[in-house]
Chain A
Amino acid sequence: MQNALVPVKTTESSHNELIQLVSFNLDQEEYGVDVLKVREIIRMPIVTRVPNTPHYVEGVINLRGKVVPIICMRKKFGLFQVENDKQTRIMVMDMEGELMGFIVDAVSEVIRISGSEIQPSPAMVAGGIDQECIAGVINQADRLLVLLNLEKMFSRDERNLFTGM
């Protein structure tokens, strides 16, 4: 296990630094993203469907005059669909300078962890989540948190697909 930690240490240069994560729920599991990437968390507004886009693109919303694309995380991760409820939130994230919204089941809290707590993700991940965007796993006494790097979620190819369609 110690050996396996090494690559993580190199990628996460902040070895013992405290990292703040926003944790959210998706189909029973808890995930975390870097708090600095999250611009805001909003309730579901009216979403305008955009035709001829990948199925996980829910559409676009009007965020105070800015048009922001919305991705459904459940669809993206290949999870079954549920009705939006009171807990459903959109996390608006800064993706390399552009805003993008992600629909999640619920947003719970901001947690602090030290960089050394991050472990590499196990080789097998169920549910069709791209291995690439999983930055690591945080294994605490009472919870298991999957650390996501959403910027990696859209591979180069996928972005080209987006723009080249």
Chain B
Amino acid sequence: MPPIDCEDQELLDGFLTETTELLEKLDDDLVALEKSSDDTDLMNRIFRSIHTIKGASSFLGFDLLVKVAHKTEDVLNRLRKKELFVTSEIMDVILEATDLIKLLVADIKAGDIQERETEGTIAKLLPLLTEIPTPPPVVTKEPEVAAAPVQAAEPPPATSQQVTPEQGTVTEAATPTASTKVTADAAPTAAPTAPTPPAASAMPVAKPTTAVAPKKTAPPKPVESKGGEDLSDNSTVRVDVKRLDDLMNQVGELVLERNRMIQINQDLQQNNVNRNDFNEEFGKLTKRMSFVTSELQMQVLKMRMIPVEKVFKKFPRIVRSMSRDLGKEVDLQIIGEETELDRSVVDEIGDPLIHLIRNAMDHGLESPEERLAAGKSRCGTLVLAAVHEGNQIIISIKDDGRGIDTDRVGRKAIEKGLISEEQFTSMGQREIFDLLFLPGFSTKDKTTDLSGRGVGMDVVKTNIKKLNGLIEIKSIKDVGSEFILRLPLTLAIIQSLLVEVEGEIYSIPLSSVLETIRVDQRKFHLIGGQEVLKLRDIVLPLIRLQKVFNVQPRGETEHFCYVVVVGAAEKRMGLVVTRLVGQQEVAIKSLGNYLANIPGIAGSTILGDGRVALIIDPVAMSESCE
């Protein structure tokens, strides 16, 4: 294999960025194509993507990639010319070739080109290029190779088309010029080499076999279907030009305000101003400054936002392959994919969503026969929806399957010794649903590729907790279930309630504060050593922050104190504090590796006076409370 000897690293980076984008979109387009096979635009877009990949990789000399992309391109070309018709079988092969291309691109990215087993995939592409049932082996090999390239070319056009002209976004990639250069340069090179789609049977035979057949020097590694999944990276950002312009305007204003501030300071130093004038001027300046900075903050926050589409778009492919594996018919509907949320959140929700979708497909939806027997339509529906609500984003995964069988869940839990018989009988529906999140819990008797190890829901819970999110389960037997995730929009800046505990200031995320009350400590009750407060119809467990954080009490304790009622997931508790200080928007600062994971502390922030205040983690608090 040729090593990566690209002299121009920028060129290579550009190629990788572009190819990765094209490949990301390709999966989605291919699945869409299967549903609407007569969509010419879609078909052409896919074809162009593969063609671009092929062109660019041949320009850079990635032979294996060219080979696979080339064959895929040929197959797609036949589809485009209506010499072939889209069937699930053909799509399977094309998708497999796409995975192979992803794998090869991942190799290039890692800087480690390996001999991969390409013949298998190519061999599957081959029959598609010829309708002769028993072609000589040579012929068979060639068409296969040809088919693969087609696939590779598909993704690139799709992405570039969608993003650049339609939405008017600007590529902020580190090497924007490089990527355009690659395409421009590559296109001419590719054009001559690209074979005019052969009347499939004739052309392949004529070509020398050796040129096409992959050399098997090193033991080829098997193609893993997941090879391409980690292709996407987050090192570059695409930002709408308009947002960038707005940002520039705001920075301009900030500069003006700074000049004003310098002026005021100068006047003050030279004693040119009387006190009243200064007060007025400085007051005005403060207001304008705070206005400009909050605008600026909003803008930057918006730039960090990316549509959930980034995560959602890989699901049609997953659902498709799962539905084929499981023999179920599923109609995946995606709603609100344009909903935006912070990059950091987007990165974290991918895994939990995959688990929830797997669960819905595997446990929730029934097979077509069962569905018909239950009087439902043959094809199950899976709805993946995202929507903004206040400063939260709500993602729900809803299926119209058999719903959660609480009895069965309970019995399994007893069987596994997770709960006792009495506990089960006293459990409400909600508590039974909570059992699903226990590590090691699974209703499956057998472990399969897809499920049964009891890990999935635990992953979901852990990731969502990490994001300070909440999970809610709604399920009606035989009608379906819905998993609802509530996530904060961003993790960097939060609204918080500042409280004082015997002289120390702590910050509580406002998103988890339900209410604050001033109460007489003599109204606290003691149940089994645990202080509680009767609040309307609930009994609220209390946590004295002063005790948890070992704060030295100063002075006499007053009878009256404040209780901050916080909620974490479905739990509620009251934090006892000395005084409420106020509400403030705070930027979260990490405490660093050395002080990470202090129980009950989520991070820190810097207050207006420059002091550091610790941010309380209500979720961890609720756990220590148990």
Chains A and B bind each other:
yes
Q: Which of B504, B551, B594, B610 contacts A98 (CB 8 A)?
A: B594
In chain A between 31 and 90, which residues have their CB closer than 8 angstroms to a CB of chain B? 45-46, 48-53, 57, 59-62, 65-69
In chain B between 534 and 589, which residues have their CB closer than 8 angstroms to a CB of chain A? 548-551, 589
B597 touches A51 (CB 8 A): no
B612 CB–A CB distance under 8 Å = yes
Q: Which of B504, B548, B594, B606 contacts A49 (CB 8 A)?
A: B504
Q: Which of B548, B590, B593, B606 contacts A62 (CB 8 A)?
A: B606
B604 CB–A CB distance under 8 Å = yes
Chain B residues lying within 8 Å of A52, measured Cβ to Cβ, are 549-550, 598-601
Chain A residues lying within 8 Å of B594, measured Cβ to Cβ, are 69, 95, 98, 100, 154, 159, 162-163
Q: Please name the residue on chain B nearest to A46 by beta carbon.
A: B611
Chain A residues lying within 8 Å of B551, measured Cβ to Cβ, are 51
Q: Give B490-504 as 1s and 0s: 1 = Cβ < 8 Å from A's Cβ atoms.
A: 000000000000001
Chain A residues lying within 8 Å of B614, measured Cβ to Cβ, are 48, 50-51
* A163 with B596, Cβ < 8 A, contacts A50-B601, A67-B591 known: yes
Q: Is the interface of B mostly helix, strand, loop or mixed?
A: loop
CA distance A91 to B596 in the complex (A): 21
A129 CB–B CB distance under 8 Å = no
Chain B interface size, as a band, is 20 to 34
- B586 nearest CB across to chain A (Å): 12
Chain B residues lying within 8 Å of A164, measured Cβ to Cβ, are 597
- B309 nearest CB across to chain A (Å): 34
Chain B residues lying within 8 Å of A5, measured Cβ to Cβ, are none
Chain B residues lying within 8 Å of A53, measured Cβ to Cβ, are 595, 598
Q: Which of B504, B548, B593, B606 contacts A67 (CB 8 A)?
A: B606
Q: Which of A67, A154, A165 contacts B604 (CB 8 A)?
A: A67
Q: Please name the residue on chain B nearest to A162 by beta carbon.
A: B594
A99 CB–B CB distance under 8 Å = yes
A48 touches B598 (CB 8 A): no
CA distance A66 to B592 in the complex (A): 10
Q: Which of B550, B592, B598, B613 contacts A68 (CB 8 A)?
A: B592
* A163 with B504, Cβ < 8 A, contacts A48-B611, A68-B592 known: no
CA distance A159 to B606 in the complex (A): 25
- A153 nearest CB across to chain B (Å): 11
CA distance A69 to B612 in the complex (A): 11
CA distance A159 to B597 in the complex (A): 11
B610 touches A62 (CB 8 A): yes
- B435 nearest CB across to chain A (Å): 27
CA distance A112 to B97 in the complex (A): 63
Q: Which of A57, A66, A163, A165 contacts B593 (CB 8 A)?
A: A163
Chain A residues lying within 8 Å of B598, measured Cβ to Cβ, are 50-53, 165
List residues of chain A with CB under 8 Å of any chain B CB: 45-46, 48-53, 57, 59-62, 65-69, 95, 98-100, 154, 159, 162-165
List residues of chain B with CB under 8 Å of any chain A CB: 504, 548-551, 589-601, 604, 606, 610-614
4 tightest Cβ-Cβ pairs between the two chains A and B: A51-B549, A48-B612, A67-B589, A67-B604
